[in-house]
Amino acid sequence: MKIGIIGAGQLGRMLALAGYPLGLRFVFVDADEDAPGAQVGRIIHGRFDDPAALAALAASVDVVTFDVENVPQAAAAAVAAKVPFYPPPEALGAGQDRCDEKRLFRSLGIPTAPFEPVDSQQALVAAAERIGLPAILKTRRLGYDGRGQKRLETPADLDGAFAALGGVPAILEGFVRFERELSLIGVRGLDGRTAFWPLAENVHVDGILRQSRAPWEDARLQSQAERHVGALLDRFDYVGVLTVEFFLADGTLLANEMAPRVHNSGHWTIEGAVTSQFENHVRAILGLPLGSTAPTGHAAMVNFIGRLPALAEALEIDGAHFHDYGKTARPHRKLGHCTVVRATQAERDAALESLLALT
Amino acid sequence: MKIGIIGAGQLGRMLALAGYPLGLRFVFVDADEDAPGAQVGRIIHGRFDDPAALAALAASVDVVTFDVENVPQAAAAAVAAKVPFYPPPEALGAGQDRCDEKRLFRSLGIPTAPFEPVDSQQALVAAAERIGLPAILKTRRLGYDGRGQKRLETPADLDGAFAALGGVPAILEGFVRFERELSLIGVRGLDGRTAFWPLAENVHVDGILRQSRAPWEDARLQSQAERHVGALLDRFDYVGVLTVEFFLADGTLLANEMAPRVHNSGHWTIEGAVTSQFENHVRAILGLPLGSTAPTGHAAMVNFIGRLPALAEALEIDGAHFHDYGKTARPHRKLGHCTVVRATQAERDAALESLLALT
């Protein structure tokens, strides 16, 4: 069986590396012929919305998925008309607009921070009055890793803020004084069965994920999160992996955003779970049975951003599992990560310190 | 860094899949452009001893290794003159002749079954008188997976036996009434440090490995085996992974054969050890620190020979890790394997039964 992946970033690369042992083959569409995925699979050269490239992909594979969420929904739908395409384009579209996404959460009973769409400076001022400050102004579309957002602390910060973000459709979100950031990754098979990995606790720095620890053991929060992610999976008759990032505030999970794909906060599952998010995504879109999502120990994952440590230094750390995405170094760019798995939380947290010392 | 691999079989494929996360790239030499390794890396088309192909390989990579042990030693030495080549060609050569190999074992104090070189029918009869029957007549070179050997039970079986094996240089080995077959896999780094995985217990059927269970927990045998493999590693100033297959008879390990490479009886290390044989081989030949060889649980591995089970059926088994090598099915051909890892021996043995039911 051949799987087509739109986007050949590190997520696509890790999907392919998880799928090769199952005997699968992979074809990517990407504009960069030396993209991380292209280094380990065949590539069709083209942008994510290039009709010719997508048609060539559809013609050469059994099923198509994506590793970037900014594939235009229309382009996805055109592929889906020719060949099975998972996750469903509708879910892809729902995550592309922060306002639609939050409305969707609310419609399924999933709590969120207060929010309002903002289409002008005047609307921003009105929304800030209702929601209060501090708040975050974000573009509705195409933001990731902290890009396309602006924190507003005082009324003075509102001045010119709408224009500063480009004057594009935006959303104002109330600032959540969260205790922790947690994420839950779920997967739904073609037969509708679902499975969920344990919650991961995440730390972002400057809007970019820096580290994850899992499992975050809290049975009440786990079941709360599974209910929320399960509702989303069923809403879309979803197939594949779906991630939701939450804030934990006053004992309640507030959904911040969803990603209709494997996710950085699930990289620990490669070594820290019986079946990784990557393998289960592949299993799901091929209609294969889902694998166990049970943890194999206590895992910590650290991202390498802008700079990779020396490989020899990283591998000196006992049980360090190094992942170099094969990318050119650039500031704020995710270049790789490292995971350790230990028998206890305390040992894991000590190993995490060693990983952080590499960054 | 780029690694060249002579031979693109399943071992080369799994080396590449272990090396990609470290940011490495792989180039294979193989006559089959759709060989298992070729499906996941770049291929230079040519036989293992094709001077042009090997020269092209040497020119395009930082270090060369091999996944087949019948690379002619002279061809290996020619590559080694141009680019670092591990394991050393001398170790490769030593394993290519069963008689030299057993003499080497003896010279290092490693027990073996009684053996004698056999160059004629007359020599065979004389050797059989000294060693006794039953015994096994094997070609000295190029035998694997039970090919090129003949069991001799009675004096009548001697008639024409030398000619039946092709009249090539042979070895007569006393038949060992073994209790078990065990193998030990060791690895030695560029700095001379060594590490050993736990012993695996192997079952062969018709000369082909059928299943492995590990760790085989016997501290005395483990240390006996580590002493033997350690002596071989040091003898060659070895770099990379080395495997020795033993018979256990009367509480003593008798070395049967060595393989200067990753080995089928170590496939369980992909999921059953902190660091796999494949990753540590790659680490060793690049001069990187070796990773922990500690087991992560109790593992069982079953080979799929001649026929692969349905993927969906295999993946129904809890925690089944499926490995399809991407080969065309043929009788007696190793097409894939499946590994399970469990918390206890008893659970592992129960899961092993489920795996065997797939075959």
User: How much helix, strand and coil, in percent to the nearest 5, is found in chain A?
Assistant: 35, 30, 40
- State the smallest CA–CA distance between residue A246 and chain B in angstroms: 29
Taking only residues 26 to 65 of chain B, the set having a beta carbon closer than 8 angstroms to any beta carbon of chain A reads 39-41
Q: Per CATH, which fold does A180-357 belong to?
A: D-amino Acid Aminotransferase; Chain A, domain 1 (3.30.470)
**Percent with pLDDT over 90 in chain B:** 93
Locate the domains of chain B by residue range: 2-85, 114-174, 180-357
CB of A205 within 8 Å of a chain B CB? The answer is no
Which H/E stretch holds residue B139?
strand B135-139
Q: CA A136: distance to chain centroid?
A: 20
Q: Which of B17, B20, B292 sits opposite A319 (nearest CB)?
A: B292
Residue B207 has pLDDT above 90, yes or no: no
Q: Which of B22, B41, B319 sits opposite A292 (nearest CB)?
A: B319
User: Pick from B268, B210, B206: which is nearest to B243 by CA?
Assistant: B268
pLDDT at position A148, please?
Answer: 81
Mutate to test the interface with B, among A13, A34, A315, A327 (most CBs of B within 10 A): A315
pTM of the model: 0.96
B21 and A315 in contact by Cβ < 8 A?
Answer: no
Six token digits for residue A324: 């170099």
Residue B194 has pLDDT above 90, yes or no: yes
- State the smallest CA–CA distance between residue B61 and chain A in angstroms: 15
Strand blocks (E) in chain A: 2-6, 25-30, 42-45, 63-66, 115-118, 135-139, 149-152, 170-174, 180-188, 194-196, 200-205, 208-214, 240-249, 252-259, 298-305, 321-324, 334-342
Residues of B in contact with A273 (CB under 8 A): none
- List chain A pLDDT tens, one digit each, 359 residues: 999 999 999 999 999 999 999 999 999 999 999 999 999 999 999 999 999 999 999 999 999 999 998 899 899 999 999 999 999 999 998 888 999 999 999 999 999 999 999 999 999 999 999 999 999 999 998 765 667 889 999 999 999 999 999 899 999 999 999 999 999 999 999 999 999 999 999 999 988 999 999 999 999 999 999 999 999 999 999 999 999 999 999 999 999 999 999 999 999 999 999 999 999 999 999 999 999 999 999 999 999 999 999 999 999 999 999 999 999 999 999 999 999 999 999 999 999 999 999 99
Question: pLDDT confidence of B143, banded at 50, 70, 90?
Answer: low
Q: Which of A20, A283, A315 sits opposite B315 (nearest CB)?
A: A283
pLDDT at position A142, please?
Answer: 74
- Alpha-carbon radius of gyration of chain A: 20
CB of A324 within 8 Å of a chain B CB? The answer is yes
Q: CA angle, corner B6, sides to B1 and B11, nearest 5?
A: 90
Which CATH number describes the domain made up of A114-174? 3.30.1490.20
Say which residues have a Cβ less than 8 Å from residue A7's Cβ, sequence separation at least 6: A28, A29, A30, A37, A48, A66, A67, A68, A71
Six token digits for residue B349: 């043995």
Given a contact cutoff of 8 angstroms between Cβ atoms, the answer to whether A324 and B23 are in contact is yes
Q: What is the pLDDT of residues B89-115, one digit of tens each?
A: 999 988 889 999 999 999 999 999 999
B134 cis-preceded (ω within 30 degrees of 0): yes
Tell me A148's DSSP state. T
Given a contact cutoff of 8 angstroms between Cβ atoms, the answer to whether A337 and A297 are in contact is no
pLDDT at position A144, please?
Answer: 59
The residue to which tokens 């050569």 are assigned = B93
What is the C-alpha separation between A173 and B46, in angstroms, rounded? Answer: 61
Which strands, in side-by-side order, build the sheet including B135-139? B115-118, B170-174, B135-139, B149-152
Question: pLDDT confidence of B327, banded at 50, 70, 90?
Answer: very high
Which H/E stretch holds residue B51?
helix B51-60
End-to-end CA distance of chain B: 39
b/e per residue A125-144 (b: at least 16 CB within 10 A)? bebbeebebebbbbbbbebe
Domains B2-85 and B180-357 belong to one CATH topology: no
Could you tell me the CA-to-CA distances from A209 to A20, A91, A267, A333 in Å, in that order?
27, 23, 11, 11
Q: What is the pLDDT of residues B82-94, one digit of tens each?
A: 999 999 999 998 8
Say which residues have a Cβ less than 8 Å from residue B138's Cβ, sequence separation at least 6: B98, B148, B149, B150, B165, B170, B171, B173
The residue to which tokens 């079986």 are assigned = B157
Which CATH number describes the domain made up of B2-85? 3.40.50.20
